[in-house]
Structure 1
Amino acid sequence: MSTATLETRELTNLDRCDACGAQAYVRVVMASGNELYFCGHHARENEEALKAVASHWDDQTDRLS
């Protein structure tokens, strides 16, 4: 998994969590190129499983504080 910049952009309130619809602060890019978006809660809840299959993990939860 890479943490390098991959067309990094700041996630906005238009980016919604795929699990609950809240604002997304984590973008997960899969090897296929598909992207998943998660709020901080659901990203942490599924982090281990997601990181095992992700090619890129873009965590912007530091913007929450």
Structure 2
Amino acid sequence: MTGTLAPTKPLTAQDRCDRCGAQAYVRATLSGGADLLFCAHHGRKYGETLRASGAELHDETDKLTENRLRGDDHA
């Protein structure tokens, strides 16, 4: 075992923000291994604090821009 985190699977439309229930675009993996999911808004709000406490962040908020460019309003 190398001590690095295994790659996380991509977030889907079924993944919901633990704070508000919107679609999740950010996964925070805490130092103990638990995951928290956040929408883009809450990911920005709590991201720096989580990172400072040792959490690894997996950010897929770029999907929002990609969906807008394609004209997909379901993001």
TM-score (norm 1): 0.83
Q: Which structure carries more strand by proportion?
A: 1
Listed as ranges, the gaps of 5+ residues in structure 2 are 66-75
User: How many percent of aligned residue pairs carry the same amino acid?
Assistant: 47
2:42 aligns with 42
Q: Which of 1 and 2 has higher RCO (CA within 8 Å, sep 6+)? A: 1
What residue identity is the alignment partner of 2:41?
A: H
How many positions carry a matched residue from both structures?
Answer: 62
Superposition map of 1:44-59 within 5 A: 44-59=44-59
Could you report, residue by residue, the CA deviation over 1:36-58 in whole angstroms, capped at 9, with x for unpaired residues? 00000001011221111233110
User: What is the distance in 1 between the residues matched to 2:54 and 2:61?
Assistant: 18
Query: For residue 70 of structure 2, what is the aligned residue in structure 1?
Result: none
The alignment yields a C-alpha RMSD, in angstroms, of 1.6
Q: Which ranges of structure 1 fall in alignment gaps of 5 or more residues?
A: none
